[in-house]
Amino acid sequence: MRQQQPLFAERGFYLGPLFRRAADRHGAVFVTLDRPLDTHPGLGVDLSYRVLADVVEELSGRLWEAGVRPSEQVVVHKTDNVDIVLLTCAVSRIGAVPVLLSPGLAGPVVGQLLGRLRQPWLITDRAKLTGPLGDVEVSSLVRRTLSVDDAPGADPLEKYSGAEPPAPVRLHPTEPALITHSSGTTGVPKLAVHCPNTMWNRLVPQQAMGWPTRGETAALHMSFVHSRFYHLLGVLLHFGSPLVLITDPEPAAVGPLLARHRPGIVETHPNTFVLWEELADAPGAPLSRVRSYGSTFDAIHPRTVRRLLDASKRRAPWLIQLYGQSETGPVAFQWFTRRSAARADGRRVGIGIPGFTRVRITDDSGRRAAPGTPGRIEARTRGRILTYLGAREQYERQLDGAWWQMGDMGYMSRLGALHLIDREIDRIDSVHSNLEVEDALMDRLEELREVVIVPGADREPVPVVCVRGEEPLDPDRWRAATADLPAMAEPRQWRFEELPMTATWKVKRVEITRMLAESARA
């Protein structure tokens, strides 16, 4: 008889049993992919909870047969696809520790992160080993390399096909159970260590938020190496939601898929939602049945919120925004409805999660700032990571007792609402809030796909703009839109694809500043 693992055991959230528990509870609920799994291409794209539960167990048998054992670190770094999720659950099922590295990381960065681990296993593919990792001495950094295909120099996982899945292994709730990485917007990402207990403390409030939409079809385009994806997955599987899992965010591909499945829940990253504004009027009305949008860990432009909500034909759709980071999970949240979005302040990111998180603002001396006074944002949460692997001192520097320094500037209203100003590192003296100016420009210039304000060589604000299509930015419209805004340098027009991005489509502002400086010196 198959041994079952509880989803919430000893206040712990475990990834290994997610799909099997969901299959046992809800049966053959459908799961649709936009491309076949690299590990099991023959299964196609129309799957189910039961099929994915079987895949997870089958993969765990292969890994066990290959020699992976409990508490060992297993890096998953392969071409973006849903099998990243299944491999993660399979690694967790046998008590090993998944280490999730974004497919978008440069080879040398992956090499640095591998060096912080203790001779981990590596699961990858030909595209990575012969591409970005081609100049990295992988064999000296890992115990063994396993591949989902026929990558040279790697042991193919297919070799262990048919191995009997072992009994599930459950680590202690306070032991490391998952390692993800920070966004890397300001440099080399940090490795964030999670345990079942901290993950449980993130999951429970998100499950409460998901209760109103239980069972609705959910369409997700999210980073499969981000901890938020696994918490949302835990919520959706618990409630039995059919899933549409998306790897290609282009509207031409996403529109027909969403029109066919009519999701009631849609979640992606804020910058992807800007791209999906095009779906508001797309053929087949792909967003017409959405009841709840989810935007994770980054502020979203008010224009985008309004367009998304107006695209739904449901009577009272909403968008929920979560503010937080990889190290903390969500620490503040707020809801937008059609009515509130019409007067939304894009800098207001909500309130702390009752019973789970608290937020405060401190001044330069560490004292709590008065309402309305800008300062550093700090959060106190039960969901904070255990440490940065290989960078404990850096972790300790961000702690103020039990409070975590978020690295952002903001202020609290008299009613306790948190308002985000900017990242500390991005502040420009002549601009109160870069983010506020960017929101204003997105509202006034509908042709903008993105605008990012960064400091120039003399700390002057430099707007980098991306427009939809190939047309150049109209200088007259730009001057009219910026007439009452802080003085800025002439806009630099880039293609959106040229912007340096993280795995969750956050713009790397520090990298843009560096690129502008190099261009000026050339």
- Give the C-alpha distances (Å, rounded to integers) separating 518 from 186, 462, 471: 17, 14, 26
Q: Which of 244-248, 293-297, 454-458 has the highest mean pLDDT?
A: 244-248
pLDDT for 299: 74
pLDDT for 298: 73
Mean of pLDDT values over 293-312: 89
Convert the pLDDT of each residue in 203-246 to its tens digit.
Answer: 999 999 999 999 999 999 999 999 999 999 999 999 999 999 99
**How are beta strands 418-423 and 30-33 bridged, if at all?**
unpaired
- Give the Cβ contact number of residue 139 at 10 Å: 12
pLDDT for 3: 39
Model confidence at 497, pLDDT cuts 50, 70, 90, reads confident
Q: Is the pLDDT of residue 87 over 90?
A: yes
Q: Is the pLDDT of residue 280 over 70?
A: yes
- Give the Cβ contact number of residue 189 at 10 Å: 23
- Give the C-alpha distances (Å, rounded to integers) separating 225 from 18, 120, 312, 355: 16, 17, 29, 27
pLDDT for 343: 81
The single-letter code of the amino acid at 245 is L
- Give the C-alpha distances (Å, rounded to integers) separating 188 from 106, 115, 184, 185, 222: 10, 13, 5, 8, 21
* CA distance linking residue 205 with residue 200, whole number of Å: 9
Q: Report phi then psi at 365, rounded to 5.
A: -95, 0
- DSSP string computed for 105-128: S-HHHHHHHHHTSSS-EEEE-HHH
pLDDT for 200: 95
pLDDT for 522: 62
pLDDT for 508: 86
* CA distance linking residue 300 with residue 276, whole number of Å: 13
Q: Report phi then psi at 348, rounded to 5.
A: -85, 120
Structure-model confidence comparison of residues 271 and 65, the more confident one: 65
pLDDT for 358: 96
Among 31-45, 63-77, 299-313, the minimum mean pLDDT is found in: 299-313
- Give the Cβ contact number of residue 466 at 10 Å: 20
Among 109-118, 155-164, 446-455, 497-506, the minimum mean pLDDT is found in: 497-506
To the nearest whole percent, how much of the chain has pLDDT over 70? 97
Mean of pLDDT values over 26-44: 96
* CA R_g for the chain: 23
For residue 178, the cross-strand partners are 194
pLDDT for 5: 44
Mean pLDDT, rounded, of the chain: 92
Mean of pLDDT values over 93-107: 96
Q: Which of 466, 360, 375 is nearest to 416 (CA)?
A: 360
pLDDT for 278: 92
Convert the pLDDT of each residue in 162-209 to its tens digit.
Answer: 999 999 999 999 999 999 998 766 668 999 999 999 999 999 999 999
pLDDT for 186: 62
Q: How close are the terminal C-alpha atoms of the chain, in Å?
A: 68
Model confidence at 329, pLDDT cuts 50, 70, 90, reads very high
Model confidence at 459, pLDDT cuts 50, 70, 90, reads confident
pLDDT for 458: 82
CB 302 within 8 A of CB 341: yes
Residues 6+ apart with CB under 8 A from 397: none
Among 25-29, 42-46, 120-124, the minimum mean pLDDT is found in: 25-29
Q: Report phi then psi at 481, rounded to 5.
A: -70, -25
Among 3-12, 99-108, 454-463, the minimum mean pLDDT is found in: 3-12
Among 189-198, 270-279, 284-293, 336-345, the minimum mean pLDDT is found in: 336-345
To the nearest whole percent, how much of the chain has pLDDT over 90? 80
pLDDT for 301: 87
Structure-model confidence comparison of residues 183 and 82, the more confident one: 82
Burial 89-116 (b: 16+ CB within 10 A, else e): bbbbbbbbbbbbbbbbbebebbbbbbeb
Q: Is the pLDDT of residue 1 over 70?
A: no
Predicted structure pTM score: 0.93
Q: Report phi then psi at 448, rounded to 5.
A: -75, 130
Q: Report phi then psi at 174, rounded to 5.
A: -105, 5
Q: Is the pLDDT of residue 10 over 70?
A: no
Find the length of the chain. Answer: 522
Model confidence at 469, pLDDT cuts 50, 70, 90, reads confident
pLDDT for 471: 84
Convert the pLDDT of each residue in 101-155 to its tens digit.
Answer: 999 999 999 999 999 999 999 999 999 999 999 999 999 999 999 999 999 999 9
Q: Which of 14, 90, 30, 50 is nearest to 218 (CA)?
A: 30
Q: Is the pLDDT of residue 520 over 80?
A: no
Q: Which of 223, 221, 325, 315 is nearest to 266 (CA)?
A: 221
Model confidence at 408, pLDDT cuts 50, 70, 90, reads very high
For residue 48, the cross-strand partners are 30
The single-letter code of the amino acid at 182 is S
